[in-house]
Structure 1
Amino acid sequence: MLLMIMIMIIMLLWNEDDELDTARGSSRSSNGLDLTLPSDLNFMPTLGNGHLGYTVFGDAIFMNGVYNGPAGNSKRARIPNWLNITTEVCDRFGCATDADVAVNGTSYEMDLRDGYFRSITTYNSLGLSIEQRTYPHKFFNRALVYEVVATRSTAYGTRANSPQFLRLSQHPGNASDAFEFVVVSNGSSASGDYRTIRGRTDIIEFERFQQQPQEIYIIFSQSLEEPLQLEWPTWQAEVRHRIIICIDREQSVALKELQDVLQLNANSMLQRHTDAWHNFWDRDFSIELVGNVLELSQIINAGIFYLASSLPSLSTNQVNEPFYGLSPTGLGRGNLEADYQGHNFWDTEIWMLPVVTHFGFEYGKQVLDYRSRKLEAAKYNARSKGYKGARFPWESAYTGTEVTNPCCPEVAQQEIHISPDISFALQKFFAHSGDYAWVCDKAWPIAAEVAEFLVSRAACEEFRPVCHLLNVMGPDEDHPDVDDNVYTNAVSKIALEFAEWAGEMCGNDSTELFEKWRRVSDRLLILHDTALDYHPQHAGYVVNTTIKQADTILLGYPLRYDTSTTHLNDLRIYSNVTRESGPAMTWSMFATNYLTSSQEWLGHEYFERGYKDYVRPEFKVWSETPLGFEGSANFLTGIGGFLQAMIYGYGGVNFVRDNNKTTMILRVGMSPLNVDEVHVNYLRYARNTCRWVFGPRFSNMDCGVRSGAQGNFEMVQGKKRTLLGRSFNVTLVKGDEPVYISYLE
């Protein structure tokens, strides 16, 4: 198949027949893009539904929460990709060859709006075409679907050399090294059952929190152990066929899913899937650009799609299992070290969650609930190192204990900032949602334990009001074993302050506890060089020393710890020493910080730098590192940073906890180069769903009240205070002061 002459067609989001104004430069191409497949098939699209995921043409299927291997060797357990199926057209003399295809070739289409990948092969000399479609079903989310439609031109239907059957073959790759598979049933038409395989992982992750191997069941609608031959009489214009594979921990759940899917005809089955994706684009989240910016529109919507594909479907045929978090390369990857073995990092909370929250608060809760369920493991991690409270591991998987690769023990030991990162994310989620009940139920227990860990980890001087965090590593992993990394200390101060606020708000009256936290928070050292008016990254940092990635500059956005002229000096100094091969999200953070500091042209420069060298052109799949360097594929962390730059940098919106209320900060936005307007649809704030439209001259926030919403909004601009009611519409023009809109419960 890969030897054929191929034409790539990418339809990013909207279909050909949508009556959209093409001048809006939204997300569709009327003619598609004429490209070849990526030379590295790692950069094929990765598809998922939060329960199952895979990369097109890849050799692996992965399931949410299923890992194999001990401690740092734990990785997503690879299921052979039995969905990787190809169809050939054949007659009694053999099958069609590349020569039969070469005139018109094969088109490959990633349809983001409908949520499937397909190829169409035209056999010009034979007068027929073969369409193959593959997708993880978004509503029947235990089901993976392969469909083939073969169509014959009537002019060729009676020819003697016209193909007489289709041959379907599986290409699952090598046997799995993660599972011991046993055939439960081979299936037979006589008995009415299906081929069923039970898989049991070989090695548990950590015995204290996992007593037994994990077990899954895989049920096939039809066995393809041997190639399947479908008869195609020459008089028949079309033949259709589908293969369904259902996977779950429970055999009964997988079987019910398969039976429910097979009750539907092929069109109805696809319709349930596309309806679910349409609901996401039309009700949950989308970004539209106005202007002649098709390429950027495609990158934005492809990024949204790949990020959403790793999240749980919120409306499903059967109840979802607990969600096991967002790893840097998503659910459809995780067998390789380059995929970070499917582990969870700070990437989840700092880079992806701020965007995921706008997809809907339930998505954000699903992501954060993983940390809540692993709190006991985090407390164990702290105790095992001689500390109190909860220390979340740098990398976590099934059990929530430390699973950092054995290559890099210093990373696991020293990147303690992930614990306050999680606490910071809890506070940001509250700032978005205004959900006080959630704070007390989910956020406060975590925030309290993180605060206890930070106090026990801090080293406070006896005769000076100064506390340190020693022997740490900040986000810049080129500098291990440093003292007082300024990002780590700043996010820890924020975490301690949030824990005190949450405790008081949730009815805890332990003044002794709060005083202990406050004493450390007030004294944690934030390094500042008065001569150069900048923050040294860590004790002993020498100006012009090269660093790996965004670190100190994060004190501006997202932390909002320091937005003074000192922050501008941080941006200037560290922009000149960050290495070229750094990860994608670094430049997006420079862009966001420059844009929020009204440094528009520098913002444009770093915004473009943050995606142009990181996105593969064929399917807009992201790489962790610039093209030409080794790095991860489908890099969701980079997508998250890029979308934050669009929403928070160009959009000029932010959400903060302001004492006992949440506040949305609006400033006049700006737009990327050649973009007339940006429409962010379904941005969430408190009980409302908003539409944020911004461009180089104005910004408009329109927030409509949601069903059952209570409370009111208050706006402060300068010295003017205005009660807005339960919904509001605010327009800013260039030169206006920022607006602060607070939700009053």
Structure 2
Amino acid sequence: MNVLFLGKIQYALYRLVLAETPEAYLLQTHTLPSDLNFMPTLGNGHLGYTVFGDAIFMNGVYNGAGGNSKRARIPNWLNISAVVCDRFGCATDDDELSTTNDTLYEMDLRDGYFRYRKDYKKLGITLEQRSYPHKYFNRALVYEVVASRHATTARSNAPQFLKLSQHPGIASDAFEFVVLNNGSNAKGDYRVIRGRTQVLEFERFQPQPHEIYILFSQSLEEPLQIEWPTWQMEITHRIIICIDREQSVALKDLQDALELNFQDLHQKHIKRWHDFWDNDFSIRIAGNSLELWQIANAGIFYLASSLPSLTTNQKNEPFDGLSPTGLGRGNLEADYQGHSFWDTEIWMLPVVTQFGYDYAKEVLEYRSRKLEAAKYNAYAKGYKGARYPWESAYTGTEVTNPCCPEVAQQEIHISADISFALQKFFAQSADFDWTCDKAWPIAAEVAEFLVSRAACEELKQVCHFLNVMGPDEDHANVDDNVYTNAMAKIALEFAVWAGGMCGNASTELFEKWQQVSNRLLILRDVDLDYHPQHEGYKLNTEVKQADTILLGYPLRFDKSSTHLNDLKYYANATRESGPAMTWSMFAANYLRTSEDWRADEYFERGYKSYVRPEFKVWSETPIGYEGSANFLTGIGGFLQALIFGYGGLDFYRSGNQTTMENSGVLMPPNVEEVEINYIRYGDSKCRWIYKSHSSFMDCGYRKSGKKFEMLQGNKRTLLATNFNVTHRKGDPPIYINLMN
């Protein structure tokens, strides 16, 4: 049997494997979105792009000073198209004799790539093109084309070559590019371009421009012709583009990738994505809810695509932040210029932590590395400690758009939000060493900032935050925003605990922090039994988004009748065009009250008007309003409502003890069962299934020496290191404590 025939068999089997992607992971359409912003955005934590877009972006590479800093656009040289040609010319899309009118576009979430297929009827040919950022060779972007002849194709009429053309878009205004090597197939070298950004973000923390190297396996400066012998049934070709700050790193990924044959390179990428879905995180939704399951899978994929790959050919660069629209966007104001906000810690991180602690640590490490810049931000404004900027990019200094200076000046809650996220991570991971090494230094500096920013009245023994803005950005320059004050109290108390636990003996410092925490004013209208959003707020005044209602979930600050009234009042006051995660938070919060039946309406509202149907890409605002695309913040809120809202799950700290709470489950509309693989707790990895009448959690513990204790009602049970727990509808909540 000859080698060519064996190769055909191998490739046919390989194609068969690809075709087995479950429907819940396969997004197919014959019609592209009317707005190509809602094409899939793909990434691997190092590089990202939007399919058919004009930009590639690289982790941590920005251009522009201060508020003009934005992700530095690399022309999208991966935007390649192929056509089939013979000696008379090339087939075109408007040639009705040559092509069908229903090209199939497909986003394969499980395998992690985008492809589109087109049939040339007259020529008897199928052309498939696909692209993806490689998940193992993560400096590499891959374009692949497969052209196949149908069995009935007449050889005399067969096309003789493919023509590949590049469509990178206009020149970049962010980089100065220099061609170092044009490449020569005869010599076996590669086209190499060096790019340097043109404007520093802030010289104190970025003394030099960013420098990157872009290597091409083949040059496409001119259209590339690939010979296709008439006797050959199938032809394949690939273009690989590698990008890194170091030319040697980009070159190694390129050379190592090229050592693999066509299908092995693709399969290595697929294996990494399968490892994620099978071993890191996945959700299965059963019932009359395929679309909901697809939306959940797409959300997980788009969120995970912006995170670093944990298994790579070469060591990752430091991760430089998780932006609201991901790594594959950031050149535009609508993409928030690729900056990091509170969205990272409050909306996305609780879901990212379920992917695995290493993913969460990558996200939080970004804040740790920017601590010195945060201290500079505080000092520059006359305060102590660390003030994290409202918008952060490469340097960690303030890069809020010049349009909106009041937002940067007044949304001080972001520093407390970061401290809150550190505490939530500890509550789930029970990682004491990490807490002392990474969390405590941040928590201490944030506490110092909050104390220096507070305005305290000694006679009344009360403290305020004046001239602030809460999450509701429609109301600037207010006093005592209740979310800001509540979050600050939590951050101050966490700093006191972390300092003591980590062996700091500064009693005077802890007393100062605790005193301000105790005195911070939390507004409450006694007559109406609700929390006014800020001093002077009038009931039914329109607000932009979830703000005060967050006191219930995720803050766990208020579970009383006051919180239930907050939900009722602010549901009627929140504007229709509010961002997607707002309605998910109404759902998650109602599910924790005696009026849990109200949650379904808000849960469906939180995704049905925000998810574009073709590739399940999220928008920041409902259809009909202008807003950001690939809105990871909305995805984070939606998945939190599904896991922690309907699932009734939460993690919290009480002293040195961490607790996982299961308060009972409810089911989203048209859903019969939800299975989550996996939920993390301590060193456990838990398979969790919940239905309308019960939930079942099966946990395996990785280390010895620590035990779990379960409390339910008055019953206390010591659990084995590997344990399972069933919670039935109507039973009291279950609390599982990790004993230290």
Query: Residue 744 of structure 1 aligns with which residue?
Result: 739
Percent identical across equivalent pairs?
A: 73
The structure 2 residue matched to 1:705, chosen from 689, 701, 713, is 701
Q: Is the 8 A contact 2:33 2:39 kept in 1?
A: yes
Give yes or no for the alignment of 1:17 onto 2:13: no
Q: What is the Cα deviation at residue 28 of structure 1?
A: 4.9
Q: Is the 8 A contact 2:377 2:387 kept in 1?
A: yes
* Rounded Cα–Cα distance in structure 2 between residues aligned with 1:205 and 1:400: 10
Give yes or no for the alignment of 1:664 onto 2:667: no
* Rounded Cα–Cα distance in structure 1 between residues aligned with 2:387 and 2:553: 24
Q: Which amino acid aligns with 1:401?
A: T
SS in 2 for 1:576: helix
The structure 2 residue matched to 1:301, chosen from 297, 303, 311, is 297
Give yes or no for the alignment of 1:208 onto 2:201: no
SS in 2 for 1:125: coil
Alignment map for 1:24-35 (pairs within 5 Å): 27-28=24-25, 34-35=29-30
Q: What is the Cα deviation at residue 17 of structure 1?
A: 3.1
Bigger drift between 615-624 and 225-234 goes to 225-234
Number of equivalent positions: 722
Q: Which amino acid aligns with 2:346?
A: I
Q: Is the 8 A contact 1:128 1:150 kept in 2?
A: yes
After superposition, give the CA deviation of every residue in 1:65-87 in whole Å (9 maximum; x if it has no partner). Answer: 00000000000000000000000
Q: Is the 8 A contact 1:699 1:733 kept in 2?
A: yes
Query: Residue 726 of structure 1 aligns with which residue?
Result: 721
After superposition, give the CA deviation of every residue in 1:335-390 in whole Å (9 maximum; x if it has no partner). Answer: 00000000000000000000000000000000000000000000000000000000
Query: Residue 236 of structure 2 aligns with which residue?
Result: 240
* Rounded Cα–Cα distance in structure 2 between residues aligned with 1:744 and 1:169: 62
Query: What are structure 1's unaligned runs of at least 5 residues?
Result: 1-13, 21-25
Alignment map for 1:185-334 (pairs within 5 Å): 185-334=181-330
Query: Residue 153 of structure 2 aligns with which residue?
Result: 156
Alignment map for 1:509-528 (pairs within 5 Å): 509-528=505-524
After superposition, give the CA deviation of every residue in 1:99-123 in whole Å (9 maximum; x if it has no partner). Answer: 2454363111100000000011100
* Rounded Cα–Cα distance in structure 1 between residues aligned with 2:726 and 2:98: 56
Q: Is the 8 A contact 1:668 1:694 kept in 2?
A: no
SS in 2 for 1:183: strand
Give yes or no for the alignment of 1:105 onto 2:108: no
Q: Is the 8 A contact 2:28 2:105 kept in 1?
A: no
**CA RMSD after TM alignment:** 1.2
Give yes or no for the alignment of 1:131 onto 2:128: yes
Distance change (3 Å), C-alpha of 1:145 and 1:126: same
Query: Residue 391 of structure 1 aligns with which residue?
Result: 387
Q: What is the Cα deviation at residue 427 of structure 1?
A: 0.1
* Rounded Cα–Cα distance in structure 1 between residues aligned with 2:704 and 2:467: 48
* Rounded Cα–Cα distance in structure 2 between residues aligned with 1:692 and 1:712: 20
The structure 2 residue matched to 1:95, chosen from 84, 90, 96, is 90
Q: Which amino acid aligns with 1:418?
A: I
The structure 2 residue matched to 1:449, chosen from 445, 449, 463, is 445
* Rounded Cα–Cα distance in structure 1 between residues aligned with 2:565 and 2:479: 22
Q: Which amino acid aligns with 1:566?
A: T
Alignment map for 1:424-573 (pairs within 5 Å): 424-573=420-569
SS in 1 for 2:156: coil
After superposition, give the CA deviation of every residue in 1:278-320 in whole Å (9 maximum; x if it has no partner). Answer: 0000000000011121110100000000000000000000000
Bigger drift between 94-103 and 560-569 goes to 94-103
Q: What is the Cα deviation at residue 190 of structure 1?
A: 3.4
After superposition, give the CA deviation of every residue in 1:484-517 in whole Å (9 maximum; x if it has no partner). Answer: 0000000000000000000000001111000000
Q: Is the 8 A contact 1:104 1:124 kept in 2?
A: no
* Rounded Cα–Cα distance in structure 2 between residues aligned with 1:528 and 1:257: 59
The structure 1 residue matched to 2:67, chosen from 57, 63, 72, is 72
Alignment map for 1:340-351 (pairs within 5 Å): 340-351=336-347
Query: Residue 633 of structure 2 aligns with which residue?
Result: 637
SS in 1 for 2:614: coil
Q: TM-score, normalised by structure 2?
A: 0.96
Distance change (3 Å), C-alpha of 1:123 and 1:598: farther
Distance change (3 Å), C-alpha of 1:250 and 1:530: same
After superposition, give the CA deviation of every residue in 1:91-145 in whole Å (9 maximum; x if it has no partner). Answer: 1221112224543631111000000000111001110011101000000000000
Q: Is the 8 A contact 1:288 1:679 kept in 2?
A: yes
Q: Is the 8 A contact 2:98 2:123 kept in 1?
A: no
* Rounded Cα–Cα distance in structure 2 between residues aligned with 1:260 and 1:568: 58
Distance change (3 Å), C-alpha of 1:101 and 1:410: farther
Q: What is the Cα deviation at residue 728 of structure 1?
A: 1.5
* Rounded Cα–Cα distance in structure 1 between residues aligned with 2:523 and 2:394: 37
Q: What is the Cα deviation at residue 33 of structure 1?
A: 5.1
Q: TM-score, normalised by structure 1?
A: 0.96
Q: Is the 8 A contact 1:615 1:623 kept in 2?
A: yes
* Rounded Cα–Cα distance in structure 2 between residues aligned with 1:149 and 1:253: 29
Q: Which amino acid aligns with 2:24?
A: S
Q: What is the Cα deviation at residue 667 of structure 1?
A: 1.8
Alignment map for 1:352-371 (pairs within 5 Å): 352-371=348-367
Q: Which amino acid aligns with 1:139?
A: Y
SS in 1 for 2:738: strand
Bigger drift between 708-717 and 51-60 goes to 708-717
Q: What is the Cα deviation at residue 725 of structure 1?
A: 2.3
Query: Residue 577 of structure 1 aligns with which residue?
Result: 573
* Rounded Cα–Cα distance in structure 1 between residues aligned with 2:621 and 2:18: 31
